[in-house]
Every structure is written in structure tokens, then in C-alpha cells.
Amino acid sequence: MNKLARLLFALSMLCLYGTAWSQSPTRVTITGSVVDTSNNALPSPTLMLLNPVDSSLINFTRADNQGGFEFKNIKNTTYLLKISYVGFLPKQVVIQPSEKETIDLGKIKIQPITLELMEVVIRTAKAPLTIRGDTIEYDASTFKVPPGSTVEDLLRRLPGIEVDADGNIKAQGRDVRRLYVDGKTFFNDDPKAATKNLGAETISKVQVYNEGSEQSKLTGVDDGKKEKVMNLELKEEFKKGAFGKLTLAYGDQDRWAARGNYNRFNTKEQFSIIGYGNNINQTGVNWDDYGEFKGQSAYNWDDVDFGFSSGRRYFMMDGDGLRNWFDGRGFTQNAGGGLNYNFSQKKAKFNASYTYNQVDLDLNEFGFRQTFLADSSFSNSDTTLRADFRNNHVFNTRYENEIDSSNTIIVKASGRLSQNNSTNSSSQLFSSTNVLQKNRLSLDNDNDLNSWNMGAQAIYRHRFNKKKGRSFSFGGAYQNNNSDGAENIFNINRFFQANTFTDQVRQLNNNVNDLRQVKTSLLYTEPLSKKVFGEVFYNLQNTNNQINRQVRNLESNQRVDELSVFFDNQVTFNRLGTSFRYSHEGVNVGFGLAAQQIRLETAAAQDEGLPNFEAPLVRTFNNIVPNLSANVELKNNMYLGLEYGYQINEPRFNDLQPVRNVNNPAFQTLGNPNLQPERQHNMSFNFNYWNPASFISVNFNSDYNLYDSQIVYTQTIESNPSTGIRTTTRPQNLAGGNSLNSNMWINYPLIKTKLSMRINGGINFGLSPTLINDVANNTNNNGVNMSLGLNATPNKKLILDLSANINNQNISYSLREDQNQKIRNYGVDGSVKWNFASKFFLESNLDYNIFRNERLDFKQDVPIWNASVRRLVGKENKFEIRAAAFDLLNRRVTINQGGSLNFVTRNVANTLARYFMLSLSYNIKGYENKLRKNDW
Amino acid sequence: MNVKHFLLIIGISLPLGVFAQELEGTVRYLMTHNWSKKYASEDHMSKQSKEREMYIWGSRSEWKEYTVLHLKANESKYMESEEKAEADMEGWSWRKDLFFIKRNFSNNTTQEAIPMTGKTYLIEDQIHPQNWKILNDLKEVAGHVCMKAFYRDSLKKQDIVAWFAMDLPSSAGPERFCGLPGLIMEVDINNGSLNIAADKIELKKLDKELELPAKLKGKKVNEEGYLTALRDHFKLQIDQDRPTFWGIRY
């Protein structure tokens, strides 16, 4: 209706009102009293005056003790008077405008609700009762019947309904002659056909009401005969659905990709299937696809280790092997897929999944490494060709049951079967600065590794009902990891000296590794007051690791005794601790102490089953460790966090091994059975600020580690005409190492909703001590990185982003200050997302990266430009066609620059450069027809 | 349409009935937030993102907390409870924003402190009860038989179902809901996105429970000023494709 019509209508209403006014009073008083069916007065019922059009509440009052009521001085118009009284059916009376000043409604009778409905439906079943005229309906699903029951079984339980032996139904004492299902006749007129055949679980509501007879329906004349009719309302079907996507892509140079997933679900179950394959370096799926695949079991955090973190390493299943992890080097062919099933009810949740993935990598990499000695340095350049195939079968299952409000149990089991075959062929050219000594080392290794892991975990939590906050938890886990590998090694070392000669090694290594870990944890929490909580925890962990490494010389076909070992290591960790927490008004502070013991037992023999070389070495380390944590929530969405802990970790198993590994004769490693546990102070600080009105956010965090005892790889470098330059690393405990890492993110909107700025930065300092040929060297690694970005959204169809970053790293060596390195990486990145026509999208980005190291005279610029156009097709945008160009300038290589201890490195790897691709995607639910911002 | 509007105007011009209230005590409400449902009832968010949210988080997106409503003579004060409803949160404390809704039904005045997007709005005005429709359903909540009332909040785009007790004469209720002929025992917003249900009624003499904090810091507004700020918030969130319930009380 337009404005004029409305105005006219209002005017005419006013006129009508005026006419009425001339005859009737504008204000009236409504009186009356409320009685029950036997004319007894009902004390204080509630009376409501409603607008008859939409039942909106206009006025209300409460009657006196005799049920008498009065609405004084109210507008003289039509009302719906509603009377409500506990235990009675609400009654409605229409009140017309009156010509007199007082409208006396006299005695209004209200009907009681039958005791059955009141007690059984309202009080016991807690089901809402709906009254529509003379129909009373309620949610029948709140009445529990055994699974497999029919509607008849359900009806027998419902108040006011009787079902005799033959299945005839009576409602409120009268026969039910007709029965509808969802308002329609079911099969035929016999009500029993429905009640005996339908399952009780399909019914949501039962309605009983009076209906005119068939005859009156035909003639349209009310013959006064009413029949009891029952209507069964069917449950809104279990919410069912399905979604899925499929993408097929093909490009030049035979580039291809395929990816698909399909999910089916209802309120209780989720089932999904996913698959992918490509030769464009996507080794897995992204977070979104992984999340959809796992559904409601995508995010489970189950920690079996209770008490404050002691920084102990423990074994975790890393996702399902489906996630993309590509590091940018080389060319890969990939395939994978999986099945996932989730079941969830209010209390019980179950998940099972199986996934498979494989990656076939071809890598061609050039590496340069310069190593500094007290008086000299040497460098080696390394050309590596690597072919690597790996696959994983992963199985995961998890069951959670909240048995009741105080008991919860979680059980998990997982397994993995993996295979890895790789061929490495590397040619390393060594040259030394002061001595004209050069050699070329060719390494050809074939590795075959088969491994399997399996593990199980259980967590039980009990909350005491008597006292809020008192709880007890138990956690237990078992893990067994096993691998069996063979390394076939062929090395040739050629020396280019006055008398050129060649040294050759052919060797076959068999490595069998078996790890078994059992752990258990207990935690008891007691609220000491409203603000103070006490905790006691105990952790026990036993790890047994066996390595059998048998090295055979392929020329003599003899075991190489000095390189072969069967090594058995047992670590038993015990910790008993307590902590106190203060928790009030956003301040949460905790302090704890724990006594812990690490018992290390190592034994070595020539081979499994042979006597030990010497008696097992048993060492025990006892310590008291503190822990402090503070989290403070300040005003205005500011959060401060501070944590301090002292961590003690036993040495890694491989570092204790007493034999040499000579797979690469130029870089040999040797374990150290006398290693002590690593001991360090850990401190962390973080600050977060978030303004929900202006969207300014500031995050800062910082970590500092200081080692009392650090396991450091010391180096012994020998250079002699018969072996060339040979580096042997050996782990040793050294004190004084430290590191500081700080990061900051700031997001600052410059123009609300249109333009925002972000600043990211980080500072890191690190001091790593080491020994080079028994001379102490401290390497300082100082880095600063900074990035500044601008993001503009001028309108909903255009997003522009521009950012620049600087990454500076300075490395200084106390041994050779003249060799200090300055590594510089710079980058500029611009991107555009443009919805340039209906359903057409253009996306492009240019990433310009500059790599520098002046001392090594290294300079390389890598500009990468990608662009794509896509179009949504179909009524619900179910199809997407996309044409994409990757690395249009054909310049992509992957460069890593770094340095530590006494060396500086740089690696340049080839990878997928320019290619073009056309793809077609189908989404069951359709694609979003808008730009994705992804800003939250 | 127009008849309705016309009658509505008549309706508003009438004062609502007020009870002589003898009810004194404290009602504890259990608030059950369901984030997936809240997200799903955002009209402006894409269907795909809502379904995704529901698929991954649907089975465990509930969050429970307690609030209390103190009732005395013709006054009520609604605020957060000291008690925690989530057992997992025992031993952890969040900072509480300044929040209360204090009403005086005999003077028809309200005094409120409501946090929104990091600010506190101090509202002082007359009571603006919701334009309730009374429906024909009965249900028991915490031992009291209640009638059903319905209200559509067109600004927050919420369907609100309230259950008020027929035998507890008070016009008070949880959050900003009030104006029914019985105490509001349960409120359900957007089909379970937020459910507020009384779970404990303690009739007792109240002492200082209804007093307001001595220091009140915030932006002083009247009802209209608060609604304007709320409207601006909704406009901005919708414009930015963000959920509207971020930063406000649902």
C-alpha cells in the first residue's frame, strides 16, 4: 500500500473513530469475575487484554481473591480478553466496543486442565502443551518408548488416550474414528493401519480434536455431530544433507590436477570421502578441505600429560598425512585420499578415519657451504639429485563418552604404515683457502625404509558433585614405533693433487629401530577457596628404544665391526608436583614445584643377542623444577601473559650412540654416551590488545631460553692428503647458549572498512656456543624482519593489497670475525582481487623477492607473477571455470640462505616454474558469488 | 497491516498493568549459547560458510553461564552470577564487564550498564517493554507452569519466545526482557541460538543485592541513543561480512 492510501485509510479510521465517539464513550471500564466450572471463585487469576488482530499484549491485571477484576479507563475498542490461571486452560473472550461506560462480563467460567495432562505431560514429561481452540497437542517424542515400538505402543503411554486389545483408540473417553497423519488420511480410514505400522520414533506430535461428521463435511451443514479425530504429526525428518566439490584441471607440459570430496550427514552421523592427485606440487589438501573432511572431529585436543609443562618430548600423531607440507623444492607427483566417519550424540562421540597419501619427489638442488676454522676456511659446493617416494596409510579412531555430569572417558587409537624409497646422488667439490687441496666426493645412496607406528590413549575425568571444582583425572598411553631400513651406499672420493688418487666405499647398512613407550598421569584438583585452587599431579613415563645398525662392506662382504652396533636405551621419567592457582576477576596466577627423576640406562653390543661390550651404563638425574605462570586480563580487551619454567630433557637417543655414521665420509657423526640431560630456563611473555569498535589489534610475544647445559654439536675437522677434509660432529654439553625471539603484529584501520594497515615485525638474538677443533666459538645470530602492508577495499568488488618486507640476518663468529655474514632478503608483494563483471573474477599477484649476501657476492632476484580469471556458471553457481597462469615470468626457484655454528649456507633448488592451467569445478552447494576477504 | 498499526498505537498509549509485588528473592538463570546456531541465523553470511560452521562445530558449540535476577518490591536487578556453569572453567577467571539492568516498575524507570564493542553504555530511561504477543502454549519451567509469549526484534533480527510464570506476579525478566503479567522464566532466541532458563528460585529477604556499583563509568545514553549505537554496529558488521553478534550481548 502506498503512502497516500495509508493516509486515507488512517483518516477514514479516524472518521470512523469520531463517529463512534459521538455515540459511545471513548473510555470504558471492563469488569467481571473468574470462576471454575462449579461456580467457585478463583483467587487472583491473570487477565490480559490482547489486540485481537495479532494477540499483542495491551494491558494486564490480576484479579482479587474472589476472582473479581476491573480494567479501568481503557480505550473503547475490540479486545481479546485472555484469562490464565494455574491448572486451568487459558480462556479467551472477545470484547466488542460498548455504548455504555462499563462493560460487565459477569462470571467467566474456565475449564481445568485434566490432571493427567497436568501431571503427566507438563510436570513429568516437561513437554509444552499447546491449546488451539478445543485441540490440545503436545510433543509426543518426550515420552520414551523402547526402540522399534509402534505408534500404538506410544499411544498407550499418553495421558487421556486408551488403546484396547484390538487396537481401538479412545481419547478422553470417546472413540477415535478418524486418524490423520500430517493432516492427511493414512492409507485408508482404519486408524489401526497407521498406529500398528508406523514406528513411534517417526512421530513428533499427537493432536486430538473434534471434527464435524463426514456428512456435515459433504453438505456443509453442521449437523451438530462431532467426532474425535486424532492427527499424528511426523517428525521433521532427520536433518539430512550432502555437499561436495570436484575440480579437474589440465595444463601445458602435461600438468594436471584433480581434487574432490563428498560429505553426507544427518543430525547424528557424518560421512566423508576425499581424494586428490596432481603433478603441481600440492602434496595434500588445505586447512579448509581438511576441516571439512574431518568434520566435527577436526579439532580435538587431548593431552595425556597432566601438570605444568615440563617441555618433554612426546609422540604425537601428526594429523593424517593429508595436509599440504610442500617446502617449495623440486617437483612432486602426488596422490591421496581418505574416508572419515563421525557419530555424535549428546553424550557419546565416535570418530574413525583412514587416509592414504603418497608423494614422489624429484629434486635437483645446488648447495654452497663455507665452513670457518680458526686459521682457515673451506667450502664445498654440492649438486644433488634426489628421487624420493614415500607413502603413508593412517588410521585414527577416537571415542568420547560423557557418562554422566561427573564422569567422562576418552579413548583413542591410531596406526600408521609407511614406506619410503629414495635415491640420492650428490657430487660435492671441496676446496680450501690456504692449502690448495681439492677433492670431489660422489655419493650414491639408495634408501628403503618401511615403518609402522601404533598407539593408544585413554583419559578418564571425574568431577566430584559434592564440591564444585574438585576433580580427578587419569591419563594413560602406549606407543610403539618400528622401522626397518636398508641403506645402500656407494661413495667415490677423488683427490686432485700432485698424485691424483681415488678412494671408494661400498657399504650396506641395515637399520632396525624399535621404540616402545608407556606413560601414565594422574591429576587431582581441589578448590581451597573461591579464588585459590590446589593441584597435585604425578607423571610416569617409560621409554625403551632399540637400534640395531649392522654395516656390511660390500666389497669384502664382511660386517664392519666399528660401525655396527646394537644399542638399547631405557628412559624412566618420574615426576611428582603440586601447584597453586589464584584466580579472580581476570587475574590467573599459578606457581608450582615438582620433583622429578630421569633414569637413563644404556647398553651396547655388536649385534642383537651378542653380549654387551660393557655393563649397562645407568645414570640417574634428580631435580626440583619450578613453574610460574600469570595471565591477566586488563581493561579494554588487553591481555598479558607471562610464563617461566625450568626444563630438563634427557639426551636424544641417537646422540648417545657410541659408533660413527660414515654415510657421508666428509661429514661423519659420532654419538656420545656420556651426555647429560639438557637444562634450560624458559621465559615467555605475550601481550594482546583488540578494540572491537575500531578493529585495531596489537599482538606481541617474546620467548627467551637460557641454557645451563645445552647439547651442542662440536666439530673436529681434519684435513690430510689421504682423507681430504673430514668433519666429525659429536654432541657435547655446553653452557651459556641463549636465544630470544620476539614477534609483533599490528593491524590498524586507516579508513574504517576501506583501508587498513598491518605491521609485522620480529627480532631474534641467539648465541650458540660450540667447539671447533677444541677451540671455543660463539656464533651470534641476530635477525630483524619487518613487513608493512596496506589493504584496500574500495568497494565489495575490489580488494587491493600491497606489502613490503625486509629480512636481515647478521651472523658473527667469535672464531673468525672477518667472516661475519650479512644475509639480506627483501620482498615486495602486490595483489588484486576483482569481481569485474557479474560472476567474473580476476585474481593476480606479483611477488618480487631479492636475495643478497655481499660477502659471498650473492645476488638473485626472483619475481613471481600469477594471474587467473574465473567465472561462475549455472543458476546456483554450481560450476566454476578457471584459467590460470602460474609464474608468468618463468623465474621461480627456491632459495634458502642461512648460517650457524661455524658455517654459512645457501641452497638453490629448481621447482615448478611457468605453467598454464584450465580447470573446471563443480560444487553441489554452489560457489559463493563474491570476493573472499578472509580477514577473520 | 494498518489496523494492526493503529491498534498498536492505542496499545502503547495505555500504561501497562503493574502488580503490587510481594515476590522477593533471587532467580538464577542458565544461559546456553549455541555459537553455530547464532552463526546460522545471520542472514547476511553466506550459506556455504554457515553450513561449514555447523558441520564442523555444530555438535559442540554450546557454552553455558549463569546470570541472576534479584527481585524486591517493585524493583529488579539482573546481572552476571559469580557461579560458573561450565565445569571446565573452574579455576579460571575472566574479567567481567560492567553489566546490570536495574528496573523500578513503580516509577517505570530503568538504569542499565550494557557493554557493547568494548564500550559501556549507561542507559537511563523509562522502561520500554517488548511488544509481546501472547500465545496459547503452556509449559513448566523450574516448577512453574508458564505461558508462551512471542516477540520479533526487527533490529537484532531475532525471534524471541518467552515463557512467563502464571503464578509469579512480576513484570521482570532476564536480559532486557520484561513487561509480561508473570515473571519471565525462560527466553529462547532464534530457535536455540541463546536459551535463558530459570533453574533455581530462592525466595529470601534481599539486603544489598539491588544496590548499584558506586562508580559508573561509561557513555550515558537514553534508550534511543543505545538503539542508535546498536543499529550502527549492525550496519557495520553486515557491511564487513562479519557476524553481527560479535562484541555485543546477544
Q: Give per-residue pLDDT as tens, A494-530.
A: 887 656 678 888 999 999 999 999 999 999 999 999 8
Q: A231-261: per-residue pLDDT in tens?
A: 887 776 545 788 899 999 999 999 999 999 9
Contacts (Cβ under 8 Å, ≥6 apart) of A83 = A34, A45, A46, A47, A48, A90, A91, A92, A93, A108, A110
Give the A:B interface size as CB pairs under 8 Å.
194
Helix residue spans in A187-255 (DSSP H): 191-197, 214-219
Contacts (Cβ under 8 Å, ≥6 apart) of B166 = A46, A84, A85, A86, B144, B145, B146, B147, B182
Spatial separation of the C-alpha atoms in residues A356 and A339, rounded to whole Å:
9
CB contact under 8 A, B148 and A128: yes
Mean pLDDT of A115-128: 75
Q: Which three cell numbers stand for residue A272?
A: 566423508
Q: Which three cell numbers stand for residue B143?
A: 516448577
- Residue to mutate among A51, A528, A930, with most B CBs inside 10 A, is A51
How far are the Cα atoms of A140, A782, B199 from residue A744, in angstroms, in the given order? 58, 17, 45
Task: Answer yes or no: is pLDDT of A352 > 50.
Answer: yes
What does pLDDT average to over chain B?
86
Find chain A residues with C-beta within 8 A of B118's C-beta.
636-637, 691-693
Distance from CA of B207 to the nearest CA of A (A): 22
Q: A570-617: per-residue pLDDT in tens?
A: 999 999 999 999 999 889 999 999 999 999 999 999 999 999 988 999
Distance from CA of A462 to the nearest CA of B (A): 11
A144 CB within 8 Å of a chain B CB: no
What is the amino acid identity at position A802? L
Distance from CA of A636 to the nearest CA of B (A): 6
Find chain A residues with C-beta within 8 A of B234's C-beta.
none
Task: Answer yes or no: is pLDDT of A760 > 70.
Answer: yes
Of residues A621 and A379, more confidence is placed in A621
Mean pLDDT of A638-653: 92
Name the residue of chain B whose CA is nearest to A793's CA.
Answer: B240
The full set of domain ranges for chain A reads 20-109, 115-234
Find chain A residues with C-beta within 8 A of B138's C-beta.
90, 113, 122, 128-131
Task: Answer yes or no: is pLDDT of A794 > 60.
Answer: yes
In terms of DSSP bridges, do strands B194-203 and A821-837 run parallel, antiparallel, or are they unpaired?
A: unpaired
Using the structure block, give the residue that is written with the C-alpha cell 527481585.
B71
- Residue to mutate among B46, B99, B134, with most A CBs inside 10 A, is B134
At residue B8, the pLDDT reads 38
Find chain A residues with C-beta within 8 A of B93's C-beta.
531, 583-588
Q: A29-56: per-residue pLDDT in tens?
A: 999 999 988 888 888 899 999 998 888 9
A residues 586-615 near B, CB within 8 Å? 586-588
CB contact under 8 A, A57 and B4: no
Name the residue of chain A whose CA is nearest to B150's CA.
Answer: A56
At residue A221, the pLDDT reads 53
Q: What is the DSSP letter of A41?
A: B
At residue A168, the pLDDT reads 82
CB contact under 8 A, B118 and A58: no
At residue B3, the pLDDT reads 41
Architecture of domain A115-234: Beta Complex (2.170)
A residues 265-304 near B, CB within 8 Å? 265, 270, 288, 291-292, 294-296, 298-299
Q: What's the topology of domain A20-109?
A: Immunoglobulin-like (2.60.40)
Architecture of domain B20-239: Clam (2.50)
Q: Which of A423-437, A456-470, A684-698 has the lowest mean pLDDT?
A: A423-437
Contacts (Cβ under 8 Å, ≥6 apart) of B219 = B119, B120, B121, B122
Spatial separation of the C-alpha atoms in residues A462 and A404, rounded to whole Å:
10
Among A13, A55, A57, beta carbon nearest to B6 = A13
